[in-house]
Amino acid sequence: MKKNDIFLICGIIFIIACSFLLVFAFRSEGSRVLVVVDKEVYKEFDLNENTTYEIRQENGERNVIEIKDGYVRMTEASCPDKLCVKQGWIRYNYESITCLPNKVYVRISGGEEGELDAVAE
């Protein structure tokens, strides 16, 4: 291994560690639920609005998400592995549920900017 490679690897580890720290330090309750299907925003929800929503794709694949008391989970999916369903509830900003086989991605996004300050007080 060359010296430069070691520097590069250390740099990458450092960056990953920093981004993890940032996510944990600024963990805030997100306010929106973003549903992305095949890299396009499919639907957006308010995290505080209790609802169940079925995502039906043209190829017949389906996923059902449930939003309840500020939490989101995938309740049903047509994918073979069901990893998305097993992931359970998420609630924090930047947390996400991915259903790789169906190309469905559910993410919590955008707590208000002032929220971070409010949490710190």
Which residues would be at the binding site for Zn ion (CB under 5 A)? 77, 79, 84, 99
Q: Tell me the closest approach of the beta carbon of residue 74 to Zn ion, in angstroms.
A: 7
Token pair for residue 9? 């690897």
Indicate the residue type of 93: N
Distance CA 24, CA 111 (A): 14
Q: Which is nearer to Zn ion, 79 or 106 (CB)?
A: 79
Q: Tell me the closest approach of the beta carbon of residue 101 to Zn ion, in angstroms.
A: 6
Q: Which is nearer to Zn ion, 106 or 111 (CB)?
A: 106
Query: What is the Cα Rg of the chain in Å?
Result: 17
Strands in 1-121 per DSSP E:
32-37, 40-46, 51-56, 62-68, 71-77, 96-99, 104-109
Q: Which is nearer to Zn ion, 28 or 77 (CB)?
A: 77
3-class SS of residue 120: helix
Q: Which is nearer to Zn ion, 55 or 77 (CB)?
A: 77
Q: Tell me the closest approach of the beta carbon of residue 108 to Zn ion, in angstroms.
A: 18
Q: Tell me the closest approach of the beta carbon of residue 14 to Zn ion, in angstroms.
A: 33
